[in-house]
Amino acid sequence: MQQGRHWRTTRIEVDAAAITSNVARLRAVAGVEVCAVVKADGYGHGAVTAARAALAGGAAWLAVALVEEGEALRDAGIDAPILLLSEPPVAAAEAAVAARLTPMVYRPEVVDVLDRLGRDRGAPVAVHLKVDTGMRRVGATVAQWPALVARAAAADGVIVEGVATHLARADEPDEAGRAATVDQLDVFDTAVAEARRVGLAPRLLHTANTAGTLLHPRARHTLVRPGIGVYGLSPSWEVPAADHGLRPALRLVTEVAFVKHVPASTPVSYGHRWRAPSDGWLATIPVGYADGLPRAVSSRVEVLHAGRRRPLVGTVTMDQSMVWCAGEAPRVGDEVVLLGDQGGERIRVEEWAAAADTITYEVVTQLTARLPRLGAPGPR
């Protein structure tokens, strides 16, 4: 939880119990151990909160993108195994090992660096080797793989605990998406066979993100790596999180800061791009694009006020936005929910993603550090 004072009324509330239940659900669906991905500050939810909640839900592993993210979890006293999803920068290799992070490795040069470190400290460094089976981001190509596994097999200072890859189209349940995923899993099987042929004995095989975990039994292997589903959010339009028993954990809440009554046709905010459709009430809320409310959703999403959906109107500004309350007078201090539930209604992250022409991942990771992250209050 955020330390220190915060005066502002705008805040993120994270329901840790939802994260715990989502991880338990993903684990039950997968039937194998779960590595909960908490990179990018737990997809905007707060990495330490997310990590603790995921472990409570039965996650055996956590995963981060950066050495710094792994160190922050260790500093918070988290002891679980932590996978580093990419190679550390060579200058950070020692720090990564000191923080007991398990790096994914895909270059022989990095095997050598870790091998030296392992031999110097007299205890081999556990790594997971990553093969590129079709994502074309990081991972040894099929052509580079034999040299990588041979190098790892010869390195006494390194122990290959896992072999992994990442799926590019697991979130597309149609024919083309399925075919691409099957192709990747076939390439993965061949790569694992090659690793075993040179004497490696990886205990953990993992390929599945959230969509892979939910839709592709063959991708589950011995460990799955869900991220977005841990937070109850949909990996794609075709894979709605709610259909899989996952529930959102995040609320973005504020309070009405100013109210006024305006005549019909009153133009509102920068550019006067929106006009009041009738006489009525406007509420100003202290949240804007510097908090991660995308300017692209201007006049395209709704908020909850008094348990009802009301349109967010006019151009979103840096720190503030306007809500159209029509005939019902709002009051300064009224709760306004931008994401999450109020009085049985719910605004979903998916709505913002659609309105801003992006994905749930981008919406939540753009919620800025200016927003305090708080635990969820008791039942509302």
Q: Residues in the site for ligand PLP, rule: CB under 6 A? A: 37, 39, 85, 166, 209-210, 225-229, 235
Nearest distance from residue 104's CB to ligand PLP, in Å?
7
Token pair recorded at residue 321: 């936005």
Say how many C-beta atoms besides its own lie within 10 A of residue 364's C-beta. Answer: 27
Out of 43, 270, 289, 361, pick the active-site residue: 270
C-alpha distance from residue 192 to each of 32, 114, 158, 354 (Å): 18, 21, 17, 39
By beta-carbon proximity to ligand PLP, the closer residue of 216 and 225 is: 225
Q: Which is nearer to ligand PLP, 168 or 322 (CB)?
A: 168
Residue placing its CB nearer to ligand PLP in the complex, 49 or 210: 210
Check 39, 106, 231, 361 and give the catalytic one. 39
Confirm whether 270 is a catalytic residue: yes
On whether the CB atoms of residues 127 and 103 are closer than 8 A, the answer is yes
Looking at beta carbons only, is 37 or 283 nearer to ligand PLP?
Answer: 37
| Minimum CB–partner distance for residue 75 and ligand PLP (Å) | 22
Least Å from the CB of residue 294 to ligand PLP: 19
CB of 59 to ligand PLP, least distance (A): 13
The partner residues of 8 in beta bridges, in order of sequence, read none
Q: Give the whole-angstrom CA distance, residue 260 versus residue 349.
A: 29
Shortest distance (Å) from residue 226 CB to ligand PLP? 5
Provide the minimum distance between the beta carbon of 185 and ligand PLP in the complex, in angstroms, as a whole number: 15
Please, what is the minimum distance in Å from the beta carbon of residue 378 to ligand PLP? Answer: 29
Task: Please state the three-class secondary structure of the chain as a single string.
Answer: CCCCCCCCCCEEEECHHHHHHHHHHHHHHHCCEEEEECHHHHHCCCHHHHHHHHHHCCCCEEEECCHHHHHHHHHCCCCCCEEECCCCCHHHHHHHHHCCEEEEECCHHHHHHHHHHHHHHCCCEEEEEEECCCCCCCCECCCCHHHHHHHHHHCCCEEEEEEECCCCCCCCCCHHHHHHHHHHHHHHHHHHHHHHHCCCCCCEEECCCHHHHHHCHHHCCCEECCCHHHHCCCCECCECHHHHCCCCCEEEEEECCEEEEECCCCEECHHHCEECCCCEEEEEECCCHHHCCCHHHCCCCEEEECCEEEEEECCCCCCCEEEEEECCCCCCCCEEEEEEEECCEEECHHHHHHHCCCCHHHHHHCCCCCCCEEECCCCC
Tell me the closest approach of the beta carbon of residue 279 to ligand PLP, in angstroms.
46
Between 168 and 316, name the residue whose CB sits nearer to ligand PLP: 168
Which residue lies nearest ligand PLP, judged by its C-beta?
227
- Looking up tokens 């006293």 gives 77
CB-wise, 133 or 209, nearer to ligand PLP?
209
Q: Which amino acid is at 156?
A: D
Residues with catalytic annotation? Answer: 39, 270
